């Protein structure tokens, strides 16, 4: 006779099988997509698979990584922030003009960060205390910040400050003569700090709870209002940091810098697996989303015959695919949302 396991034993054996959490599936998919795209580029183009090309994905997108981190906090609560690109531009203009006026670089950094956090605080207070939709409130701030850029100057302002330029042009040499800029270190530090805040603090757990169900979070006595305002402050602060990194990258301030960058940040966050409805997502996924956008741009650059607009076409297609995948996954989840923590 063939021995058969009792039903409870079979159920226990099935329960012991390691399974990837549903909230992690989009992140895994993004990682696989990145690996496949990079492998295709390495097989097709000479030197594409070099360490320097890989590191350049971080060097050329350090500011977008920081911007995506701030956007992740906002989208996790079910909100949106359309002002981040304009705040980046305003940060470059404030940095360039104040440095031109002779202010020390350290003071300029602090001033830019205060302005970014203040604009984020304004967004959060309007959204929470006046019940304005995030789309409308941040759209108004976007116009305000972009307008302030042209009040400061309608022309591009070059940055000549020696300290600022030394930081911007400085680099760290890794084994194999691979060069890494200081901006990348700042971006990675922001990612690590953000991940710790989201997964190791009460504030972070409340962010997930608010995105999962704001009414349930209120019934549990969580500080919903403080968190809703706080995520926009974080987004504004990250926008200011991204603006400084963009200033390092461009060595200029200009009112037309970062036009449409808010959409790139949203795309990176969604491609990285954060649900637009809120409640599920990871900062690491947003980092992977930025790298996917970067590798697409690099592939088109190596191809040489395609217009840069193909980048937007590929990103748009990916965004639609990931939104559909998210919808399919969220449709299979139980009624109570996972916190993703």
Pairing between strand 252-253 and 178-181?
Answer: unpaired
pLDDT score for 328: 74
Q: Model pTM?
A: 0.90
Say if residues 112 and 93 touch (Cβ distance below 8 Å): no
b/e code 113-151 from CB counts within 10 Å (16+ = b):
bebbbebbbbbbbbbbeeeeebeebbbbbbeebbebbee
According to DSSP, the residues that pair with 179 across neighbouring strands are 173
Pairing between strand 157-158 and 178-181?
Answer: unpaired
Distance CA 87, CA 241 (A): 10
Say if residues 89 and 149 touch (Cβ distance below 8 Å): yes
Give Cα separations from 16 to 7, 10, 11, 24, 266 (angstroms): 14, 10, 9, 18, 37
Closest CA to 207 of 230, 235, 239, 237: 230
Closest CA to 33 of 339, 328, 260, 325: 325
Q: Which pLDDT tens digit goes with each residue over 250-286?
A: 999 999 999 999 999 999 999 999 998 899 999 999 9
Q: Which pLDDT tens digit goes with each residue over 157-186?
A: 999 999 999 999 999 999 888 999 999 999
Positive or negative torsion for Cα 72, 73, 78, 79: negative
**What tokens appear for 240 in the block?**
């200011």
Give Cα separations from 306 to 182, 192, 219, 264, 300 (angstroms): 31, 36, 54, 20, 6
Q: Which residues of the chain have pLDDT under 50?
A: 1-3, 5, 7, 9-15, 333-341
Residues in Cβ contact with 234 at an 8 Å cutoff, skipping those fewer than 6 apart: 70, 73, 74, 120
pLDDT score for 258: 95
Inter-helix orientation angle 162-169/224-250, to 10°: 90
Name all domains of the chain by residue range, CATH numbers in brackets: 23-328 (1.10.3470)
Report the 3 state secondary structure along the chain: CCCCCCHHHHHHHHHCCCCCCHHHHHHHHHHHHHHHHHHHHHHHCCCCCCHHHHHHHHHCCHHHHHHHHHHHHHHHCCCCCCCHHHHHHHHHHHHHHHHHCCCCHHHHHHHHHHHHHHHHHHHHHHHHHCCCCHHHHHHHHHHHHHHHHHHHCCCCEECCCHHHHHHHHCEEEECCCEEEEHHHHHHHHHHHHHHHHHHHCHHHHHHHHHHHCHHHHHHCCCCHHHHHHHHHHHHHHHHHHHHHHHHHHHCEECCCCCCCHHHHHHHHHHHCCCCCCCCCCCHHHHHHHHHHHHHHHHHHHHHCCCCCHHHHHHHHHHHHHHHHHHHHHHHHCCCCCCCCC
Distance CA 126, CA 121 (A): 9
pLDDT score for 217: 93
> What burial class does residue 19 get, using C-beta atoms within 10 Å of its C-beta: 0-12 exposed, 13-18 middle, 19+ buried?
exposed
């Amino acid at each position: 006779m063939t021995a058969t396991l009792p039903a409870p034993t079979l159920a226990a054996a099935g329960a012991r099988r390691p399974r990837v959490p549903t909230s992690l599936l989009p992140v895994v998919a993004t990682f696989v997509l990145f690996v496949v795209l990079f492998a295709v580029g390495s097989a097709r183009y000479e030197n594409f698979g070099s360490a320097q090309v890989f590191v350049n994905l971080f060097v050329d997108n350090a500011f977008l990584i920081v911007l995506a981190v701030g956007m992740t906090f906002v989208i996790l609560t079910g909100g949106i922030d359309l002002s981040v690109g304009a705040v980046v531009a305003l940060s470059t203009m404030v940095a360039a003009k104040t440095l031109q006026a002779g202010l020390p670089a350290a003071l300029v950094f602090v001033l830019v960060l205060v302005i970014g956090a203040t604009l984020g605080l304004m967004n959060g207070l309007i959204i929470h205390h006046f019940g304005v939709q995030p789309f409308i409130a941040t759209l108004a701030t976007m116009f305000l910040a972009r307008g302030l850029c042209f009040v400061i100057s309608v022309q591009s302002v070059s940055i000549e400050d020696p300290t600022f330029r030394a930081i911007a042009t400085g680099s760290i040499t890794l084994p194999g003569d691979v060069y890494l800029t200081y901006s990348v270190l700042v971006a990675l530090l922001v990612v690590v700090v953000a991940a710790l805040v989201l997964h190791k603090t009460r504030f972070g757990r409340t962010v997930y709870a608010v995105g999962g169900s704001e009414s349930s979070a209120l019934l549990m006595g969580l500080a919903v209002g403080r968190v809703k305002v706080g995520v926009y402050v974080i987004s504004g602060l990250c926008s200011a940091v991204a603006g400084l990194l963009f200033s390092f990258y461009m060595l200029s301030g200009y009112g037309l810098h970062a036009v449409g960058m808010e959409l790139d940040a949203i795309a990176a966050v969604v491609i990285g697996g954060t649900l637009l409805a809120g409640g599920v997502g990871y900062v690491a996924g947003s980092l992977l989303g930025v790298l996917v956008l970067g590798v697409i741009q690099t592939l088109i650059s190596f191809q040489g015959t395609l217009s840069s607009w193909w980048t937007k076409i590929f990103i748009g297609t990916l965004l639609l695919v990931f939104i559909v995948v998210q919808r399919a996954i969220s449709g299979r989840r139980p009624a109570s949302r996972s916190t993703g923590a």
